[in-house]
Amino acid sequence: MNGYFLIILGGLIIALGIFTIRKPTFGWKMNEAWKVKNDSEPSDAYIDMAKFGGLVTVILGSFLLLGGILNLL
């Protein structure tokens, strides 16, 4: 893969992970809120799992970013 592509992809994935960490309920609102007609909120376990998933996404994006930088050298 081209190093520039990996750098761009890594940056986008890191941005997605940071967004997920900062706004963990966004996905719930998009996927689940319509089922309960906005009468409910996501559980604490869902919020914690979303934040953990965001952290894993940031780590994966960091590896891609590092791989892209090393590929260019």
pLDDT digits (tens, 9 = 90+) for 40-67: 888 899 999 999 999 999 999 999 999 9
Say if residue 71's pLDDT is above 80. yes
Q: What is the C-alpha separation between 35 and 15, in angstroms, rounded?
A: 28
pLDDT digits (tens, 9 = 90+) for 31-40: 877 788 767 8
Say if residue 12's pLDDT is above 90. yes
Q: What is the C-alpha separation between 46 and 51, in angstroms, rounded?
A: 9
What pLDDT shows up at residue 31?
Answer: 82
Say if residue 14's pLDDT is above 80. yes
